């Protein structure tokens, strides 16, 4: 307990509580992920939240190596993503460093476990034609294969700034920053 006898604020505990409290709805499963486009302007798209990496703060998503976001994160490995939980009416905005785990990475652990967790339908999408290129039809998708396609990429989002806003009155907001490996949180005006 802090000197004021309020529990010490920890965004990770708050996020996990929010996920539990909002389990009935779908919005734990997706979030909008923003990057910087080649021209420096923002890009945003929805992705599936694939969970945390072990007990760490690292957030896992999967994507196609040929997608624009992968090129964008190679150039500028920074992102922002956000959750809004409608039951508890709270928003988390997370800024993070992006680590790309592709077929060339020496440590394939995360890529292998993410691939194993995918449905067959989701796996098949990685054998399709180049995303974003003019429409191609009639390409054969291999239904079974032992090999993980090179197009399958895991992105690890490693948070370093978190902005947590609680909408129910009285509104409350905390800013948390990772400083030399420790999270420092400050309550701020909403
Ligand atoms: C609900 C939803 C979930 C999605 N999940 C993913 C995902 O997990 N990974 C992914 O690469 N694209 C996902 N997409 C598609 C992306 O939003 C986007 O259209 C695609 O990745 C191409 O984006 P890019 O050209 O900016 O790389 C999802 C779309 C929606 C609507």
Domains of the chain: 11-102+154-188 (2.30.110.10)
Q: How far apart are CA 18 and CA 86, in angstroms?
A: 10
CB of 155 within 6 A of ligand 1: the answer is no
Burial of 29 (0-12, 13-18, 19+ CB in 10 A): exposed
Helix H segments across the chain?
11-21, 68-75, 109-117, 120-124
94-133 pLDDT, tens digit per residue, is 999 999 999 999 999 999 999 999 999 999 999 999 999 9
- For atom 4 of ligand 1, which residue has the closest CA? 47
Query: Which of 21, 158, 16 lies closest to 92, judged by CA?
Result: 16
Buried b (16+ CB within 10 A) or exposed e, 147-159: ebbebbbbbbbbb
| Each residue's pLDDT tens digit, 46-103 | 999 999 999 999 999 999 999 999 999 999 999 999 999 999 999 999 999 999 999 9
Band (pLDDT 50/70/90 cuts) for residue 28 is: confident
Q: Is 48 in the pocket of ligand 1 (CB under 6 A)?
A: yes
Q: What is the pTM of this model?
A: 0.94
Distances, alpha carbon 57 to alpha carbons 110, 126, 154, in Å: 14, 27, 16
> Could you tell me if the CB of 32 is within 6 A of ligand 1?
no
Out of 43, 63, 123, give the residue to mutate to test ligand 1, the one with the largest number of ligand atoms within 8 Å of its CB. Answer: 63
b/e for 111-120, b at 16 or more Cβ within 10 A?
beebbeebee
pLDDT of 146 strictly over 70: no
Q: Is the CB of 42 under 6 A from ligand 1?
A: no
Q: Quickly tell me which residue has 């734990």 as its tokens.
A: 28
């Amino acid at each position: 307990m802090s000197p004021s006898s309020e529990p010490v604020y920890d965004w990770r505990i708050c996020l996990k509580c929010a996920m539990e409290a909002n389990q009935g709805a779908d919005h734990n499963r997706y979030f909008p992920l923003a990057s910087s486009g080649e021209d420096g302007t923002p890009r945003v798209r929805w992705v599936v939240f694939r969970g945390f990496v072990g007990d760490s703060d690292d957030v896992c998503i999967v994507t196609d190596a040929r997608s624009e976001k992968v090129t964008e994160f190679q150039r500028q490995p920074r992102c922002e993503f956000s959750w809004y939980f409608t039951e508890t009416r709270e928003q988390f905005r997370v800024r993070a460093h992006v680590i790309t785990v592709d077929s060339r990475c020496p440590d394939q652990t995360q890529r292998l476990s993410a691939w194993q967790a995918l449905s067959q339908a989701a796996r098949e999408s990685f054998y399709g034609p180049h995303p974003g290129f003019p429409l191609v039809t009639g390409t054969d998708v291999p239904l079974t294969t032992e090999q993980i396609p090179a197009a399958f990429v895991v992105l690890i989002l490693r948070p370093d700034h978190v902005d947590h806003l609680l909408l129910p009155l009285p509104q409350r907001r905390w800013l948390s920053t990772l400083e030399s490996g420790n999270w420092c949180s400050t309550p701020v005006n909403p």
